[in-house]
Structure 1
Amino acid sequence: MEALVNALMAIGLLLILILVVYLIDRVNLIEKETRKVMSTISDNAARPAAPYMGLSAKKLWDVMTGRSDEGLDSEAVSELRVRYQTVLTKHVEALYQEGFKDGQLGVGGEPKNTRLIATAKGQVESWIPSAQANALYQCGLNASQTPESDWGPIRAAMDEAGQLLWSKTQLEPAGALSDWLMPSGAGPKGQAEPQADMGLLDAR
């Protein structure tokens, strides 16, 4: 009888030992998973937010023109629009300068309507309609091959393209594009000193 009791006690102790080992293993596993989750949370907190709320190219344009909200509230869209001024202005300037340089080289082509723009918030891909992209490029190309005294029609075409872009994106320009990109007395290059902000950009 005593032998049976001892055997049962031994079995009981063995089961308790197995249970303790199992619980320790589970606690270690839970601790490991907890550390992994905390590390992920810490990394996400340390990682800078995606510039322009993660939007770029056509999606960014659609939000700025009211075609989509991408889940953003009106306050977030308004904040984004202020910073988008930088993107659109630099895109416009780059298209005109590309056309101007191609004209000086005696070449021409159809510009892409997407362009990678560098800003204080980081790089973002900008998109504008092909019609306006072509118009701005063509203005630069024509300006490089036309005497300044005959720039009138070119300035008018540039201002029309700019007005359409700023109107669609609900932005207020500081003035006509031609006053900035094609000022009178600009010299043989047809360009003034760099003024990428048009008096409107900030470092936000």
Structure 2
Amino acid sequence: MEALLNALLAIGLLLLLLLVVYLIDRVNSIETETRKVVSTLNENAAKLATPSMGLSAKKLWDVMTGRSSEGLDPSSVADLRSRYPVILAKHAEALYKDGFKDGILGAAPNEPKNTKDIVTAKGTVESWIPTAQANALYQCGLSASQTPEAEWGPIRASMDEAGQYLWTKAQLDVTSPLSEWLMPSSSDDGSLGP
């Protein structure tokens, strides 16, 4: 009888050991899956926390111009669109100022890059605009540095045309012409921005 009791006790301990091993394996599986989910959530949160949802350069431009927004949350795209005018304006301003600076320094005209790192309140974004408009804005700055202010009319018109194209292509409302704040006349109040 004692042998039977010992055998049942041994079988019970063996079943208990198997149950513990099974539960440990299940807990490890659950932990592994939880880590994967947390990692994915952190990656998505990091993309959304950036000022451009992880988009940059040409991809950002394509989303803003409506060419590609597959896999993106429409409300996030709308939020990004509300911040995009600042990015676009800073990019246009940087190109104009680069041309103006090169003209003042007497440097040989450069081929402006159509990508630019733009610093915003939410972080740095790599912006992209078409080459033709990048060249136009740079040339406006170069010409303005070498032309008396009284003769800036055609330069302002060229700048406004490039700005109009950019804002229209990006499906944004044009609040004021670029020349109004990038090339203020001395008769204006002298402010450089809206």
Q: Would you say same fold, with TM above 0.5?
A: yes
- Alpha-carbon distance in structure 2 between the residues aligned to 1:120 and 1:24: 49
Aligned to 2:87: 87
Structure 2: give runs of 5+ residues left out of the alignment: none
Aligned to 1:164: 165
Helix, strand or coil for the counterpart of 1:124?
Answer: strand
Aligned to 2:61: 61
- Alpha-carbon distance in structure 2 between the residues aligned to 1:173 and 1:46: 32
Confirm whether residue 137 of structure 1 aligns to residue 138 of structure 2: yes
User: For 1:126-157, what per-residue CA distance to the aligned partner results, in whole angstroms no more than 9, with x for missing partners?
Assistant: 10000000010011011111111221221111
Helix, strand or coil for the counterpart of 2:66?
Answer: coil
Aligned to 2:124: 123
Helix, strand or coil for the counterpart of 1:94?
Answer: helix
Structure 1: give runs of 5+ residues left out of the alignment: 187-191, 200-204
- Alpha-carbon distance in structure 2 between the residues aligned to 1:71 and 1:5: 65
- Alpha-carbon distance in structure 1 between the residues aligned to 2:13 and 2:134: 79
Q: Identify which of structures 1 and 2 has the higher relative contact order when contacts are C-alpha pairs closer than 8 Å and 6+ apart.
A: 1
Alpha-carbon offset, residue 45 of structure 1:
9.0
Alpha-carbon offset, residue 18 of structure 1:
3.1
Helix, strand or coil for the counterpart of 1:54?
Answer: coil
Alpha-carbon offset, residue 121 of structure 1:
2.1
Alpha-carbon offset, residue 70 of structure 1:
2.9
Alpha-carbon offset, residue 38 of structure 1:
7.9
Aligned to 2:97: 97
Q: Give the partner amino acid of 1:180.
A: W
Normalising by structure 1, we get a TM-score of 0.77
CA RMSD of aligned residues (A): 3.1
Q: Number of paired residues?
A: 191
- Alpha-carbon distance in structure 1 between the residues aligned to 2:44 and 2:134: 38
Alpha-carbon offset, residue 62 of structure 1:
1.0
- Alpha-carbon distance in structure 2 between the residues aligned to 1:128 and 1:101: 20
- Alpha-carbon distance in structure 2 between the residues aligned to 1:77 and 1:46: 15
Alpha-carbon offset, residue 76 of structure 1:
4.1
Q: Give the partner amino acid of 1:53.
A: M
Normalising by structure 2, we get a TM-score of 0.81
Aligned to 1:154: 155
Aligned to 2:106: 106
Aligned to 2:17: 18
- Alpha-carbon distance in structure 2 between the residues aligned to 1:184 and 1:21: 82
